[in-house]
Structure 1
Amino acid sequence: MNLNRTGRIGALCWVAAVPIFLAASLITGLRWRDPSYSWATNNISDLGNVHCGVWDTTRPRYVCSPGHPLMNAALLLTAVLLAAGLLLTWRTLGRGGVVRSAQTLLLLDTGGYALAGLYPADVDENLHVLGAFLIMGLGNLGLLLAALAPRTTLLGRWRRLTLAAGLTALAGAVLFFAQQGVGLGLGGMERVAVLPFPLWACCLGVLLAETPKGSTQNSRSPETTAR
């Protein structure tokens, strides 16, 4: 299967998602005043909270994010770009139950970003937590499952990259939910749990975009090869 124009557009969507997310996080965080935003102490969600005040009964902290519209818009755009990348490369990455299951779980992950942007934690905590579960739970499982893609598929070519991202994300999620910062702080550990998927997608997008036309011909399913 050739990496056609649709697949390349999907790859570029993946490449764009991480810079947008990180830039919005940085700009929004820099707008915090008294207290300043800490990537080690504060959660990503704090950037999107729409009200100022003490937040979180488990880890009380004062949250006031004047740039929350930018962060929430970036979360939505990140969701759209990651989902578009998945859908536009859907057939290109391979076939089979493992590939399709991984793609489905990762698509649910993108829904988590959308929920987080549409429903900030201090607006609808339940839907926001559901979004976090989709990202750090189902999404990270999808990343690990993607690492099991057959080597005969295009997705299987980058198994080591995918496995490293999946294991890192899973370890980060376990430690974050266990409230263990391990020197990074809980805010830092949350990023270890959340960022591997978009970073993996960005790297995969670059690799796919650089793939010459026709070079995916050997990424056929075993059934096709046997014919």
Structure 2
Amino acid sequence: MRSSTVVRAGALCWVAVAPLFLAANVIVGLAWDDPAFSWATNNISDLGNVTCGVWDTTRPRYVCSPWHSAMNAAFLLTAALLMAGLVLTWRTWVPGRAARWGRGLMLLGAAGLGLAGAFPADSNENLHLLGAVLVFGCANAGLVAAGCARNGTLPARLRPATLALGALGLAGSVLFIAQQGMGLGVGGMERVAVFPLPVWATCAGLLLYFTAPRHRSLGRHLTAETSNQG
């Protein structure tokens, strides 16, 4: 299989990430009845809780998600698509410390989404919390690292957006942990922390899908481009 075909397959995985994750948040939230789901008040994790009842000692709220199975499946599928995209587009990153760190941290962030779906907050809070930490910290730090990658890599082609999304995600993570909604509500701030990686993946996937076919030997093209810039 030609390298451009593999990259396009990875790009398609990424293209689906943000629409899938956003749709799951919206559709599963609409299934709530009493009380209605609030993006400002409720955490994303509330959508995946498997039982009904008052949840969270810090911000007590009644949580009851009829379609929790769909949300947890969406967490797992989002993680799988992110990881598949990172593996299949591996050759577009080119060697370099920033690229390696960015790629590795993004993989950990994607794994965090998988943990959040596999272990809902009300069934295994510790593992769910670990997943959240990986998303908040690793995914967003990975974007910042990737934004510093050398020219000729995929992240460098999206450098302003990559750095901006990573910085936004890290800021959102700090504010969410501090329980500061800044007008968006604490739940809204969590989305500022979590959505940057899915949004970046979809943007990067679109870019790759429409440009990868131009290079019959993508690996040689990127290696030559990096050598010329060195």
**TM-score bucket (shorter structure):** over 0.9
Distance 1:209 1:62 in 2: 43
5 Å matches for 1:1-227? Answer: 4-211=4-211, 212-214=213-215, 219-220=222-223, 224-225=227-228
TM superposition outliers: structure 1 runs of 4+ over 6 Å: none
Q: Given that residues 141 and 170 in structure 1 are in contact (C-alpha distance below 8 angstroms), is that contact kept between their aligned partners in structure 2?
A: yes
- Output one character per residue of 1:69-125: Cα deviation in whole Å (capped at 9) or x when no partner: 000001000000000000100112222121111101100011101100000000000
- The structure carrying a bigger helix percent of its residues is 2
Tell me by how many angstroms 1:222 deviates.
7.5
Which amino acid counterpart does residue 76 of structure 2 have in structure 1?
L
Identify which range, 64-73 or 156-165, moves more after superposition. 156-165
Q: Given that residues 152 and 221 in structure 1 are in contact (C-alpha distance below 8 angstroms), is that contact kept between their aligned partners in structure 2?
A: no
Tell me by how many angstroms 1:225 deviates.
3.6
TM-score (norm 1): 0.94
Q: Given that residues 152 and 218 in structure 1 are in contact (C-alpha distance below 8 angstroms), is that contact kept between their aligned partners in structure 2?
A: no
Q: Given that residues 94 and 155 in structure 1 are in contact (C-alpha distance below 8 angstroms), is that contact kept between their aligned partners in structure 2?
A: no
5+ residue gaps, structure 1, are none
Change in Cα spacing, 1:155 to 1:220, as seen in structure 2 (3 Å) is farther
Other structure's SS at 2:134 match: helix
Distance 1:115 1:3 in 2: 31
The aligned length equals: 226
Q: Given that residues 151 and 229 in structure 2 are in contact (C-alpha distance below 8 angstroms), is that contact kept between their aligned partners in structure 1?
A: no
Q: Given that residues 102 and 145 in structure 1 are in contact (C-alpha distance below 8 angstroms), is that contact kept between their aligned partners in structure 2?
A: yes
Q: Given that residues 51 and 64 in structure 1 are in contact (C-alpha distance below 8 angstroms), is that contact kept between their aligned partners in structure 2?
A: yes
Tell me by how many angstroms 1:206 deviates.
0.3
Which amino acid counterpart does residue 214 of structure 1 have in structure 2?
H
RMSD: 1.9
Distance 1:163 1:18 in 2: 18
Identify which range, 42-51 or 168-177, moves more after superposition. 168-177
Distance 2:184 2:12 in 1: 31
